[in-house]
Amino acid sequence: MKKLLIGALLGGAIGAGVARMQGGSGDEESSSMMPAVASGAAVGALFGLLLDRRGRKAGKAAAAVPVALALAKQVGDIALDAVEHAAEAARPLVEQAAEAALPLIEGARERIAA
């Protein structure tokens, strides 16, 4: 709302300045300045409204970042626990496979050395 009011005031001032430069400084010219001031204020208010809405959207997006980071941390912790559990469960199978492959490896070493 603040940006809307600032935009309207700046637009009105710019419209008055433009009308003043085009029309001169007579008393009868002040009535012809009113449409320029009103249109300048309307355009300034429109830009202020657009900036205000854009600022609100950016604020909502910035507020969502910490929530997303907290969620990602929780998912990461759960995934790490799952990987650790899978590694512990696979350890006996890997040891058994290594013991089964050991005679084959030693036989290959003897053939290479000979």
Domain range list for the chain: 2-113
Confidence at residue 30, expressed as pLDDT on a 0 to 100 scale: 60
Q: Is the pLDDT of residue 92 over 60?
A: yes
For the chain, the three-class secondary structure string (H helix, E strand, C coil) is: CHHHHHHHHHHHHHHHHHHHHHHCCCCCCHHHHHHHHHHHHHHHHHHHHHHHHHHHHHHHHHHHHHHHHHHHHHHHHHHHHHHHHHHHHHHHHHHHHHHHHHHHHHHHHHHHHC
Confidence at residue 31, expressed as pLDDT on a 0 to 100 scale: 64
Tokens for 57? 């959207």
Percent of the chain scored above 90 by pLDDT? 10
pLDDT tens for each residue of 5-55: 777 777 777 777 777 777 655 555 566 677 777 777 777 777 777 887 777
Percent of the chain scored above 70 by pLDDT? 87
Confidence at residue 29, expressed as pLDDT on a 0 to 100 scale: 56
Please give the Cα distance from 31 to 13 (Å, whole number): 15
State the chain's mean pLDDT as an integer: 79
Confidence at residue 18, expressed as pLDDT on a 0 to 100 scale: 73
Q: Residue 72's pLDDT band (boundaries 50, 70, 90)? A: confident
